[in-house]
Amino acid sequence: MSANASTVRNNARPSLDDRDVVFIDGVRTPFGKAGEKGIYHGTRADDLAVKAVRGLLERNPEVPAEKIDEISIAATTQSGDQGLTLGRTVGLLSGIPKSVPGFAIDRMCAGAMTAVTATAGGIAFGAYDVVVAGGVEHMGNHPMGAGADPNPRFLSERIVDPQALNMGNTAENLHDRFPAITKERADRYAVASQAKLAKAYENQQIQADLIPVAAKRPGEGWAVNSVDEPPRPGTTMESLAELRTPFRAHGRVTAGNAAGLNDGATAALLASGEAVRELGLEPKMRMVSFAFAGVDPDVMGYGPVPATEKALAKAGLGIDDIGLFEINEAFAVQVLSFLDYYGIDQDDERVNRYGGAIAVGHPLASSGVRLMSQLARQFSEDHSVRYGITTMCIGLGMGGTVIWENPNHADFGSKA
Amino acid sequence: MTAMSKDFQAVAQLMHDETVTHTFVKDVALPSGKTMALLTLDNGLDHKKPTTLGPNGLLELRAALEVQAERAKNGEIDALAITGKPYFLIAGADLSAVTRLSAPDQSTAMASLGHYTYELLADLGVPTFAFINGLALGGGLEIALACNYRTVSTAAGALGLPEGFLGLIPGWAGVYRLPRLVGPENALKVMIENPLNSNRTLSGPAAAKMGVADALFEPADFIEHSIAFADGVISGTTEVKRPNAVDPTDPEVARRWLDAADAAEKFVDAKLSGAAPAPYKVLEVFRKGLAISQQESAVLEVEALTGLMSTPQFQNTVYAFLDLVQKRGKRPAGAPDPKLARPVTKVGVVGAGLMAGQLALLFARRLNVPVVITDLDQSRVDKGLAYIHGEIDKLHAKGRMSQDAVNRTKALVTGSVTKKAFADADFVIEAVFEELNVKKQVFAEVEAVVSPECILATNTSSLSVTEMGRDLSHPERLVGFHFFNPVAVMPLLEIAATEWTNDSSLSTAFVLGKKLKKTTVKTKDSAAFVVNRVLLRLMSEVQAAFDEGTDAKTADSALTPMGLPMSPLTLLAMVGLPVAQHVNESLNAAFGERFAVSENLQKLIDAKITALWVKDEAGNQVLNPEAEKLMAFGDQHSSKEQILARVQDALAEEIGLLLDEGVVAEAADVDLCMITGAGWPMHLGGITPYLDQVGASERVNGKRFNG
């Protein structure tokens, strides 16, 4: 396969415009469970981000570190080991030349996605040629919402229902809005997610983009983490049925049909078409369009729908043009509401081929790049697909979608 | 070795309060599919408490290695690696534990325990690796040397085998393995030259370059890269090159081996003149190690360690190193609460001579506050400033100061011909001519300008601080602040309080001393404080023996067995004959005939002769013939042994008196002063342990200085 595939990719280079934005590579640390029992208890968030960035640059030696124009690293909680302008500190701690700048960015769960789109805008504008974009969240060191001080006006002026600040509640709200999405469907989706991830692991489709991380838990020796900690392969409908519904008595959202609380970091390398030719890079994806959109914070999980509508419109594409979906699984109900909207079956093989966050975990601001590197790998495996999307819901009622084109597709570069 | 296991247990029980470095084991799945057991050595404490190896920690490591050897045999693991907690592989053997071993069989057990533990690393049944993530000294580096392969972090602070400096030998097979790995010359640099050169160590990159480690990785993902390296080695995809490794059965190597040992022995002689046995023992075992097996060498190593552990030189060095330099030097006895200290935001230095220039530069560099030097006329001030600027430029040229720091420091130091420039200073130190009335005059002028709280300090070496303060309006802010030459190099600062000095002023002085990165010792205001009093007593005795009719060579080499940094007459020339004589006169005035003022010395000073020793045409050291003509000698010739005993007794007497007078709190302060102010060797323990050991304390004072 490789000889053929690389020929196709090389042919992609001349068809890129100078200001096209391409995804060169993406990696991540294995994800861990947040909390005292997790593999990254005792590890700093910024160190996780450093491992991801160093791993990324090490496997892309054709990009000299001094050529990087920007390092954008996202985190939802920007304090402590996630404070002090992560993009800059991670650059310095990674041994990247001091001449390379960096910044920190936050859009909660879509932090890394926004790091990618913000720097992509810079590439398209001509401000950058090569960037590193990623995210980190150590939810063990930074429990969700810790240190936040919500404005009392949210409540007094009913701008946001206070219970919508808890993501689990918004997932229950989504079940209320779409009665057709039952707990049974949500659980079935979750079981499939676990099974798909287990299968992808078996096929070595996950490990290839993981950077092993040596971590030392207090009172223990060094361990090397080279696989994700959260997955529960072998999850069944029966095992899920027993779980309690912490957000509402007799509710539908459980720890089994939602993403967990996790620690992890991701990093991606993006480049301009011009840099691809200059440095002889092999793009894995071309960015077609992106969009973010807002919804009622009460049903935050619905965000991917308007975001995708917007992104498709900008790309001049319809949902039928999309051959692969990488949708973040904050909650099963939120994925199902998206699929139902577009009339896509929940077992459709275009959706989350490697499973999703329900199985692998969701260290908030890091997840966007995980979606992208997985889509990129699927593009390389399946040349029949021309377009794919990465999409995710975002706390306080938002969604984000990025549409990508597969350089391995026969029609790549021709105007659709 | 099993016969010894009871002894091991006994030693372990003796050290029941050991801070144990534990061995944690985790299996690592390697990318190749193989399995590695990864051992982490960790005492569970933060980076301020380095990991060390005592008997309990060693036995735990041995037990862990036995389990892994069994697993290796069963094919459960394909490799083993050992690393440490952040910043440390292992700082070395637990020295405080070692000094507590009282019986030779205990020492033998401790010495054997290292071999007993490390032998499994050398031969586990699967390849073994050391990931040197941080500090690895002595037994710590020997753990790594026992392994089959090594990686090192670019940030690993210090690697070395300092046993020779401490009074031991690298006797957990370091002396055997290191020369085979890096070549005899390099090995002796690590085992002899570095330890005896202010205990120098290797950085991670230097160690890798020398061949101590097979691969060098950056700290951010050191463990990950080391594991990938190990996987490559055991999978046969990574080739390990050891260009410096040697085969001692090769006659050419054998010749290099012995040549290197001879060269190292010359180096040790020059440094120690035979005063401490350990480095010679290192060379002895090293030489024998050329043609024997590792097991045979281990027997010699254990023998040597057992013998050395009971030597006073080892006990003294550990005392000097751990109790004095590391502990007492950092928490000066009798210093008031640092919270009482007042801020020092500007410093004045009276005088623009050489000493004043050194002081001004030190204050400006360490405190980063404005420093004003004053002198009687502009040309002296300009000369002083030019000297300081020149020194700053030298630091810049050596790469020890950035251009920004050069600009900042030069801008901080200004000069003036009027003391009015001191008006807003918080600390003014005088470094003018050693003459009481001159100093009193200076302080009167300064006091007229400065605030009542401004500290007044004198750098006098022998005049009475109390007398200087007698006519001050605010004598409570006067302190003695005595540096040693060269100011930038010598660590000691004697801080003298008078009967008036208040706690706030004294606290300010100590806090300032710490900011100047000096080792501070509190002394009473007493002529010549500690270091010069002890040194001058020593030199007086040697000078007296010389004046009485002992030939210069005998007199000057009598103290060689002590291993002092230089002979008395060389020291005299370095201090300067007039300065020495001046201090001696002060001491004579204060303490009488114990400090005899030599007429011979005065004749030399009058004739402007600066040194007794000169080189003749052939380059040999001979007595200055001019000097010889001027001097008159008695007819009483003393032997070296007589002079040595005489000096030992004199020192015991002088230090006994000094302690009785309460000049410092304890004998340990005298030892700390002699080590940090005069560079006296740690193997003497400063001086009082030595005086106890040679019997001088009891001969003269009827009791030992130390229990």
What pLDDT digit, counting tens, does each position of B239-269 carry?
Answer: 999 999 999 999 999 999 999 999 999 999 9
Residues of A in contact with B39 (CB under 8 A): 221
Note the pLDDT tens digit of each residue in A149-183. 989 998 899 888 888 888 999 999 999 999 999 99
Cis preceding-peptide flag for A407 (omega within 30 of 0): no
- The tokens for B413 are 């130091």
Cβ atoms of B434 and B461 closer than 8 Å: yes
Dihedral sign, Cα of residue B479, residue B483, residue B488, residue B490: negative
Q: Do B224 and A221 touch (CB under 8 A)?
A: no
Q: Is the dihedral of CA B561, B564, B570, B576 positive or negative?
A: negative
Q: Where are the beta strands (DSSP E) in B562-624?
A: 613-615, 621-623
Chain B interface disruption, residue of A43, A53, A222, A228, most B CBs within 10 A: A222
Nearest chain B residue to A213 by CA distance is B224
Compute the distance between CA of residue B459 and CA of residue B482 in angstroms, rounded to an integer.
Answer: 5
Cβ–Cβ gap A50/B86 under 8 Å: no
Residue B613: what pLDDT?
Answer: 87
Percent of all residues in chain B with a pLDDT value above 90, rounded to a whole number: 90
Whether A224 sits inside 8 A of B221 (CB atoms) is no
Outline where DSSP puts E strands in B10-138: 22-29, 35-42, 79-84, 88-90, 128-132, 135-137
Structure tokens at A323: 């051959």
Above 80 in pLDDT, residue B445? Answer: yes
What is the CA A377 to chain-centroid distance, rounded? 14
Phi, psi torsion values for B350, nearest 5 degrees: -85, 120
- In this complex, do A214 and B220 lie within 8 Å of one another by their Cβ atoms? no
Q: Give me the residues paired with residue B88 across strands.
A: B135
User: What confidence score (pLDDT) does residue A14 get?
Assistant: 74
Task: Report how far residue A319's alpha carbon sits from residue A388's, in angstroms, rounded to the nearest whole number.
Answer: 10
Over residues B119-146, mean pLDDT: 97
Q: Cα A365 from chain centroid?
A: 8
Q: Calculate the dihedral angle through the C-alpha atoms of B336, B342, B343, B349, rounding to the nearest 10 degrees.
A: -90
pLDDT at A3: 40
pLDDT in the model for residue A5 = 44
Active site residues of A: 109, 362, 393
- Asked if residues B370 and B347 have their Cβ atoms less than 8 Å apart, the reply is yes
Q: Which of B165, B118, B113 is nearest to B145 (CA)?
A: B118
Report whether A212 contacts B32 (CB < 8 A).
no
Query: Are residues B554 and B638 in contact, defined by beta-carbon separation less than 8 angstroms?
Result: yes
- Cα Rg, chain A, nearest whole Å: 20
B26, B86, B227 ranked by CB distance to A221: nearest: B26
Within a 10 A sphere around the Cβ of B324, how many other Cβ atoms? 23
Report the gap between the CA of A51 and the closest CA in chain B (Å).
7
User: Taking CB atoms and an 8 Å limit, are A221 and B38 in contact across chains?
Assistant: yes
Distance CA B59, CA B23 (A): 10
Instruction: Answer whether A214 sits within 8 Å of B25, measured CB to CB.
Output: no
Question: Does A330 lie at the interface with B, CB-CB under 8 angstroms?
Answer: no
Half-sphere exposure of B397 (CA within 13 A, CB side): 6
CA distance B366 to chain A (A): 27
Residue B348 CA, chain-centre distance (Å), reads 31
pLDDT in tens, B159-218: 999 999 999 999 999 999 999 999 999 999 999 999 999 899 999 999 999 999 999 999
- Segment B656-665 shows an average pLDDT of 97
Write down the pLDDT at residue B625: 87
Question: A175 to chain B nearest CA, in Å?
Answer: 42
CB contact under 8 A, B224 and A220: no
Non-local CB neighbours of A279 within 8 Å, separated by 6+ positions: A62, A63, A67, A130, A271
Q: For residue range B600-655, list pLDDT tens digits in order.
A: 999 999 999 988 888 888 888 888 888 888 999 999 999 999 999 999 999 999 99
Q: What is the pLDDT of residue A2?
A: 39
Q: Give long-range contacts, CB 8 A cutoff, 24+ apart: B65-70.
A: B65/B39, B65/B117, B65/B120, B65/B121, B65/B124, B66/B120, B67/B25, B68/B25, B68/B37, B68/B39, B68/B124, B69/B120, B69/B124, B69/B125
Query: Does residue B423 sit in helix, strand or coil?
Result: coil
The structure tokens 């030069």 sit at B410
Say whether residue B540 is in contact with chain A using an 8 A CB cutoff.
no
Does a cis peptide bond (omega within 30 degrees of 0) precede residue B486?
Answer: yes
A92 to chain B, minimum CA–CA distance in Å? 11
pLDDT at site A12: 65
Query: Could you tell me the two tokens for B355?
Result: 């000493």
Which stretches of chain A score pLDDT less than 70? 1-12, 415-416
Mean pLDDT of chain B: 95
The H helix count followed by the E strand count for chain A is: 13, 12
- Three-state DSSP class for B511? helix
pLDDT above 70 for B694: yes
Q: Which of residues 192-221 of B touch A (CB under 8 A)?
A: 218, 220-221
Spatial contact of B689 and B546, defined as CB atoms under 8 Å apart: no
Would you call B518 an interface residue with chain A, using a CB distance cutoff of 8 Å? no
Q: End-to-end CA distance of chain B, in Å?
A: 36
Q: Does A94 touch chain B (CB under 8 A)?
A: yes
Residue range B306-330, pLDDT digits in tens: 999 999 999 999 999 989 998 999 9
Q: H/E element holding B229?
A: helix B222-235
Q: How large is the average pLDDT for residues B71-85?
A: 98
Contacting A residues, span 192-211, partner chain B, CB-CB under 8 Å: 211
DSSP collapsed to 3 states, chain A: CHHHHHHHHHHHHHHCCCCCEEEEEEEECCCEECCCCCCCCCCCHHHHHHHHHHHHHHCCCCCCHHHCCEEEEECCCCCHHHCCCHHHHHHHHCCCCCCCCEEEECECECHHHHHHHHHHHHHHHCCCCEEEEEEEEECCCCCCCCCCCCCHHHHHCCCCCHHHHCHHHHHHHHHHHCCCCCHHHHHHHHHHHHHHHHHHHHCCCCHHHECCEEEECCCCCEEEECCCCCCCCCCCHHHHHCCCCCCCCCCCCCHHHECCCEEEEEEEEEEEHHHHHHHCCCCCEEEEEEEEEECCHHHHHHCHHHHHHHHHHHHCCCHHHEEEEEECCCEHHHHHHHHHHHCCCCCCCCECCCCCHHHHCCCHHHHHHHHHHHHHHHHHHCCCCCEEEEEEEECCCEEEEEEEECCCCCCCCCCC
Separation between Cα atoms, residue A124 and residue A21, nearest integer Å? 6
User: Cβ–Cβ of A221/B44 closer than 8 Å?
Assistant: no
DSSP letters for B258-277? HHHHHHHHHHHHHHHTT--S
A278 at B interface, C-beta within 8 A: no
A390 vs A302: CA distance, rounded Å: 15
Is the distance from CB of A141 to CB of A42 less than 8 angstroms?
A: no
Q: Is the pTM of this model over 0.80?
A: yes
- pLDDT at position A11 is 58
Q: Which residues of A touch B221 (CB under 8 A)?
A: 50-51, 54-55, 214
Cα–Cα distance for residue pair A83/A145, rounded to 1 Å: 15
Q: SS in 3 state form for B175-206?
A: HHHHHHHHCHHHHHHHHHHHHHCCCCCECHHH
- pLDDT for the residue numbered B237: 96
- Contact B40/A222, CB-based, under 8 Å? yes
Q: Are A28 and B197 in contact (CB under 8 A)?
A: no
Residue B481 pairs in a beta bridge with: B495
